[in-house]
Structure 1
Amino acid sequence: MSTYRLFELNTFIRRFVALNLPEPVWVQAEVAEVDERRGHFYLALMEKTEDGQEVAAQAKAVIWSRTANQWQRTNKLLLHDLLQAGREVKLQVQVSFHERYGLQLQVQDLDANYTLGVMAQQRQRTIDELMAAGLLQANKMLRLALVPQRLAVISSPAAAGWEDFMAQLRDNPYGYDFEVQLFPAAMQGAQASPEIRRQLKTIERRRDSFDAVVIIRGGGARMDLADFDEKELCFAAAQMTLPIISGIGHETDQSIMDMVAHTALKTPTAAANFLIDRLHYLDQQLAGARQTLQQQTSQLVQRKAFELARLGEQLKFQQQQLLQKEAWKLDQYAQQVPQLVRQILDKASSKLEQLQQLQDLLSVERQLERGFALLSVGDEIIRNSHQLAQHDTVTLHLQDGTTTVSTAPQDKKK
């Protein structure tokens, strides 16, 4: 068995690679890491097994600054927007092997359409999964507060979008106050999704302290929106119990985050204006309601005053009628009283006369005239036999006089 020095072996490998791969080849791989230094892009590429659990192959690649600049001018895209960890890429590489630095893939071209196509497929799969889970419209079904002033904002504190958002809220022409708390997170690159998801979890735990979540970012390239198509991030946002207001898009582009959000605006300034306008609309509604209430109150007071005046006139008229009626009654009574008195007196006089006649009929003299007799002892009238038995003699009163009568039995006299 031959023994080679390392340099000899590597020289052999270099010659083998140069002889067998003299022309550039196209390679499909997933970007594991990206490091940009002085305009050069150093890539770590990998390919996973079919189950996605293990790394089947990996290699290093480099895009020299000259190649990168030329490619960006030709394709009108920025490489740092396209080359993100986790994305599928199709690279044209020149395979080289150096005795000291080992195997290296020097990128000469990049198929942007392939990466964009894979991203589009991944985007559609995410949308389909959200729809299947019933989450695509879930946040839109939440009720946004009429006055959303307690805001949890996810943004980069160094981003111009954050400054624009706060300046717009602070300098609103109506003097509305907003209670804003910043939850800092990267808004692009490999750290965007995990940091935003972490902040969403934090906000969800404190959901009673806020009216809404606002996710904003400043200006950026179109490719930056791909960070907001990431599946785990969109699922986390869709399951929030607070309404999400997004200000991360462009005029013609829409991320899945925008689709999931309760309200999607194009810029941080537009998001701030939406909140201001919502308060102003409610303010106008209240002002209109106040004016309507004042008008209705004034009309009601006027109507009730008219009714009171009408009732007062009616009462006055009714009082006059009642007084006239009672005065007429008094006049009638005044006319009727003498007649009634005369009738009462005549009736009493007739009755008195009848009583007088009855008294005459019942008098002792009239009874004696009719043939009745009256027995008495002194002033005592004899009314029964018991009284009669107590006296030996009684006085007998007749029509033509009186006589004394003995009441003793005959055998007693003998």
Structure 2
Amino acid sequence: MELKALSVTELNKYIKKILTIDPILNNVSLKGEISNFKLHSSGHAYFSIKDDESKINCIMFRNNVNLLNFKPENGLKVIVKGYISVYERDGQYQLYAQSILLEGLGELHEKFKKLRNYLEGEGLFSPIYKKSIPNFPKKIGVITSPTGAAIRDIISVISRRNSLVNVYIFPTLVQGVNSSTSICENIDKINSIYDDMDVIILSRGGGSIEELWSFNEEKVARAIFDSKIPIISGIGHETDYTIADFVSDLRAPTPSSAAELCVKDLRDIKNFIKIRYEQSKISLEKNIVNMENRLSKLNPMNGRKIVENKLNTYENTIHSFKQVMDFSVQNYLNKAEFKVENLGLKLGTLNPFSTISRGYAVISNDYGTINSIEEVSIEDEIKVNLKDGHLICKVENKYKESILNGRIWPISSK
């Protein structure tokens, strides 16, 4: 049986199909060294990955290139993830790279993600804990290497924008074994000694993830969070992000940007004051002109009439108040007089002397008024009070009023 002859295109498509459905080749991780790296104007990257004995051509499309956090260079040891396929036009198989990691840094990336998620869960990145940056700081503490480019950039920017600001430099290790300890010590030192420090800039220049790793340490993150003085981070390049950036009160993309965010340009401040001064001056002059125009329209006669009208209005108001007050006082006095008269009448009815004047008598002894015959005995002396004097009498008999057969019977006698 004679097999059908395939075209070159058909063969390449068949090979591509075979490679595509292979589970290993469809998701492969390849480690090696970058060589022949070229970044095309289209944004695609073309390069090779090689070891001591072999190499394979690679391509990375623009959207994946833009996600890289470092600049690929020849000679770098990397781990490339992607899939194997065939470029049909040339009949050449190659690795289509989807991501590139520096070899040995995969563990650091995982450690970074784990710590970031842990601290975020604790709330160290929450905006509610971010301290505000003062608008016009007088004292700025800078924690960075005294020999790096970062400190030169910061001093240059601050001195150019506002030479009245005092900058305090705290020499710090920003890379290496003891760098995280050095950073923490200087943060604590500024907080404990310099209570009048307005803001801290934590900074260093760009570098690889290994070189920036001290800013990804947990103790550095907690030192930043515990700082009473607001901290601006300016670490690495714009695409570099560290744990310190997430915890700090304000993140700047570069050391120079940190200085710009910290200090307002004195020229801008002067221009702002000048503009507000001119606005206030124009507003004041306008108000003066308006008042002059209003005054020019007034004459003495009109002014006198206005004053007299106001005085008459006040006088009428006072007179009305006086009438209301007089009426209220008189009404109160009438009510009070009526109450007093009623009370006098009531007291008159209770007055014992008014009763005596009508022919009655009030009888008493040394103990008080006598209301019952039970209160006296035979031979007792009693006092009889009349309207024009009193009598001293002696009790000879006591009679109990008891109607019995029309007679009053004595209770006792001598």
The TM tier, using the shorter chain, reads 0.3 to 0.5
TM-score (norm 1): 0.46
Structure having the higher Rg: 1
TM-score (norm 2): 0.46
Highest relative contact order (Cα 8 Å, sep 6+), 1 or 2?
1
Which of the pair is proportionally richer in helix? Answer: 1
